[in-house]
Chains A and B, each alone.
Chain A
Amino acid sequence: MEWISYIIAFVIALLITASAVVALRWAVKTGQFRDFEKGAETIFDEDEPMGRTADSFPGKAPPLAKPIIPNR
C-alpha cells in the first residue's frame, strides 16, 4: 500500500520537473532571453523613470540619483 503513495509522489515530482523544463523551453521560444538590457529596464516607466531615486525618509527630499554609469 505504501508503495502506491511513493509512486504517486514520484510521478508528481516528475511532473513538477517537467513543468520547469516546459517553462524554460517556452521562455527560450518566446524570446525571454533576448535583449537582456531591455529586460532589466522593464520595471521603469514614465511614472517611475530611470535616473530618479524613488524612496527617501519621510520629510526629507529625495537625493538626486547619480548618473547611470554603464555597467558593461
Chain B
Amino acid sequence: MSNPLSNLAASLNPGTPVPVERAILREIDESTKAPALFFLVSGILWLLVGTVFALIASIKLHYPSFLGESEWLTFGNIRTAHLQSVIFGWSTNAAFAVALWLMARLSRMRLRHPGIVLAAACLWNLGVTIGVAGILRGDSTSIEWLEIPTYATPILFVAYALIGVWAIITFRFRQSQHIYVSQWYLIAALFWFPWLYSAAQIMLLFEPARGTVQSLVNWWFAHNVLGLWFTPIGVAAAYYFIPKVLGRPIHSYYLSVLGFWSLALFYNWAGVHHLIGGPVPAWVISAGIVASLMMVIPIVVTGINHHATMRGNWSALKYSPTLRFIVFGALNYSASSLIGSTMAVRSVNEVTHFTHFTVAHAHHGMYAFFTMVMFGSIYFMLPRILHREWPSASLISVHFWACAIGITIYVVGMSIGGVIQGLQMNDAENYPVFLDIVKSMNPWLHTRSVAGAIITVGHIAFAVNFGWMLFKRSPDAAGAPTLFHAPPAMDARSSAS
C-alpha cells in the first residue's frame, strides 16, 4: 500500500475509497508521457508503413506489372496489409494515445498503472506486426476487416482487454463530478470494441457461423469498427479540442448528449446496409437501412455543435494547427456520414455498391475525418507532454495542406469514378464488355496515385517534425505559445525534482 498509484489490487477492489485530490493538468499530462509516446511513436511508424503499402496497391491497379515478380506483394496481400496497418497500426495506436490522454485529463487524475498500458501497447504492436507479416505471407483470413490471421488475433484481444481494464479503473477513480460528453464517447468506445472484436472473432474464425449469418456478422463487425470505435474517439476529441482551443464552451451541450445517446441506439444496426441486394432476409436489410437513416440525428446534432461553436471564430483556423486539422476533420465527419446514410438508400446503393465509391467513402471517413482529427489532437497533446514546442511551423503547414489537398483529390476523384463505374455496370446494353468499364476507370485510378503521393509528402513532413521534436535538445522557455503556462511556484518545484 506504499504507493496507491501502483497498487493494482487496491484499484481492482470495489471497496477502495476514491481519494479526493484533483491533479493539476501539468501533472496529468506528465503522467501519460511514457504510454502516450509509445503509442504515438509506433502509430506514426505504422502510418509510414501503411502509406507505402497504399502507394504500392494504388499503383498496381493501373500498372499491374509493378513489383509483379514479388509473391509477397500481390495486390491481394498488399491491399490487405495496407488496410490492417492503417486501421490497427496507425489509427488504433493514435486512438489509444489520444483516448488515454483525454481520459486522464477528463478524470482529473494522474494516469494510474502505466505498467498495464505499456504492456498493452507492447502486445498490441506485437500482434499487429505478426498479423501484417502473416498477411504478406499469404495467411490472410479473407474476411474483410478481420484479415489478421488467427495466430495473431488473441494477442490483440489481450492487449485491448488490458486497455479496457485500465479505462474502467480510471473511470472509477475519477476526480471529476461531471462526466463531460467526450468521456461518454471514450468509455463507450473502449467498452464496445472488445465485445465487437471477440464476438466477430469467435463467430467468424474460431467457431464460424454458417451461411448468411457469416456475412451478417462480418458487416456488423466491419461497420461497427468505424461507428463504435473510431467515430466515438474522433468525435470525443473534436468535442474536447474545439472548445478548448477556442476558449469557449461547446455551442449546445444538450445536443451533444442527445448525439451520444442516439449514436449508441442506432449505429449498431447500420452495418447490414453493406448487404443490400444480398441473400439475407429482407427485414434485416430494411432494419439496417432505417438505422442508417436514423443516424442522421446524431450526425446533424454533432455537426451543429462542432460548426456552431466555430461560428464567428473561423479566423482562429489561421492561428491554431490543432483547430485546423480538427475542424477539417469535423466538417468531413458531417459530410462523409451524411453520404454514408444516403448510400444506404436502395436506389443509391444500386449504383455505388461494388464500386470505387465505397473506397472513396471509407477513406473519407477514416482519413478526412478520423486521421485528421488524430493529427490535430497530437499537435495539442505533444507539446504538453514533452514541455517542448513543435520545432517547425512550416512543416506543420506542409503537413496540413498536403494531407488536406491530397485526401480531397482522392475522395472527389474516386467518388466520380465510382459513380461512372456503377452506372456503366448497370447499363449492360451500352457496356456489354466488362473490360471496357475497367479501362474507363484508368484516369481515376491514376488520380488516386497522385493524391496518394501528395498525402505521402504530408506524412513525411509530420514524421520529420515529430522525430525532430522528440530528439530536440533544449526545452523551450516557459512562455512558448502552445505550452501550458505554469505559475512560477510550479516551475520551481519541477526544476527541483
Name A residues whose Cβ lies closer than 8 Å to a Cβ of B.
2, 5-6, 9, 12-13, 16, 19-20, 24, 27, 32-33, 36-45, 47-63, 65-66, 68-69, 71-72
Check A57–B195 contact: CB distance below 8 A: no
Of the 9-residue stretches B146-154, B311-319, B414-422, which lies at the interface with chain A? B311-319
Check A59–B253 contact: CB distance below 8 A: no
Check A54–B244 contact: CB distance below 8 A: yes
Contact of A69 among B106, B312, B482, B485 (CB under 8 A): B312
25 A–B contacts, CB within 8 A, in A order: A2-B209, A12-B199, A19-B191, A27-B179, A37-B253, A39-B180, A39-B253, A40-B250, A42-B176, A42-B177, A43-B106, A45-B25, A47-B484, A53-B247, A54-B482, A55-B321, A57-B319, A57-B397, A58-B480, A60-B393, A63-B315, A65-B248, A66-B313, A68-B249, A71-B251
* Closest partner residue, chain B, to A9 (CB atom): B199
Q: How far is the CA of A51 from the CA of B313 in the complex (A)?
A: 12
- A40-B250, A41-B249, A47-B24 known; 7 new pairs, CB 8 Å cut-off, are A37-B249, A37-B253, A40-B243, A40-B249, A43-B244, A48-B244, A55-B320
Q: How far is the CA of A72 from the CA of B264 in the complex (A)?
A: 27
Check B321–A9 contact: CB distance below 8 A: no
CB distance from A38 to the nearest CB of B (A): 7
Check A44–B249 contact: CB distance below 8 A: yes
Instruction: Provide the residues of chain A in CB contact with B254, threshold 8 Å.
Output: 36
Instruction: Provide the residues of chain B in CB contact with A60, threshold 8 Å.
Output: 319, 393, 481
Of the 9-residue stretches B54-62, B384-392, B453-461, which lies at the interface with chain A? B384-392
**Cβ < 8 Å to A, chain B residues 366-390:** 379-380, 389-390
Q: Does B92 contact A (CB under 8 A)?
A: no
Instruction: Provide the residues of chain A in CB contact with B182, threshold 8 Å.
Output: 43
Instruction: Provide the residues of chain A in CB contact with B485, threshold 8 Å.
Output: 47
Instruction: Provide the residues of chain A in CB contact with B313, threshold 8 Å.
Output: 66
Instruction: Provide the residues of chain A in CB contact with B192, threshold 8 Å.
Output: 16
Check B249–A56 contact: CB distance below 8 A: no
The total of chain B residues at the interface (CB under 8 A) is 62
Q: Does B207 contact A (CB under 8 A)?
A: yes
Q: How far is the CA of A21 from the CA of B243 in the complex (A)?
A: 29
Q: How far is the CA of A2 from the CA of B192 in the complex (A)?
A: 24
Name B residues whose Cβ lies closer than 8 Å to a Cβ of A.
24-26, 106, 176-182, 191-192, 195, 199, 202-203, 207, 209-210, 213, 240, 243-254, 256-257, 261, 264, 308, 312-313, 315-316, 319-323, 379-380, 389-393, 396-397, 480-482, 484-485
CB distance from B480 to the nearest CB of A (A): 7
Check B481–A59 contact: CB distance below 8 A: yes
Contact of B240 among A16, A43, A62 (CB under 8 A): A43
Check B240–A65 contact: CB distance below 8 A: no
Contact of A43 among B180, B210, B323 (CB under 8 A): B180
Instruction: Provide the residues of chain A in CB contact with B393, threshold 8 Å.
Output: 57-60
Q: How far is the CA of A26 from the CA of B204 in the complex (A)?
A: 35
CB distance from B62 to the nearest CB of A (A): 38
Q: How far is the CA of A59 from the CA of B319 in the complex (A)?
A: 11
Instruction: Provide the residues of chain B in CB contact with A9, threshold 8 Å.
Output: 199, 202-203
The 9 closest A-B pairs by CB, nearest first: A40-B253, A40-B249, A36-B253, A65-B247, A55-B320, A57-B393, A55-B322, A55-B245, A58-B389
Q: How far is the CA of A57 from the CA of B178 in the complex (A)?
A: 32
Contact of A51 among B180, B247, B481 (CB under 8 A): B247
* Closest partner residue, chain B, to A1 (CB atom): B207
Instruction: Provide the residues of chain A in CB contact with B106, threshold 8 Å.
Output: 43
Check B482–A55 contact: CB distance below 8 A: yes
Instruction: Provide the residues of chain B in CB contact with A44, threshold 8 Å.
Output: 244, 247, 249
Q: How far is the CA of A52 from the CA of B240 in the complex (A)?
A: 15
CB distance from A23 to the nearest CB of B (A): 8
Q: How far is the CA of A16 from the CA of B261 in the complex (A)?
A: 14
Instruction: Provide the residues of chain B in CB contact with A27, threshold 8 Å.
Output: 179
Known: A42-B178, A55-B320. A65 touches B24 (CB 8 A): no
Q: How far is the CA of A58 from the CA of B469 in the complex (A)?
A: 12
Contact of B243 among A2, A20, A43 (CB under 8 A): A43
Q: How far is the CA of A23 from the CA of B174 in the complex (A)?
A: 16
Check A38–B481 contact: CB distance below 8 A: no
* Closest partner residue, chain A, to B196 (CB atom): A16
Instruction: Provide the residues of chain A in CB contact with B177, threshold 8 Å.
Output: 42
Instruction: Provide the residues of chain A in CB contact with B249, threshold 8 Å.
Output: 37, 40-41, 43-44, 50, 68
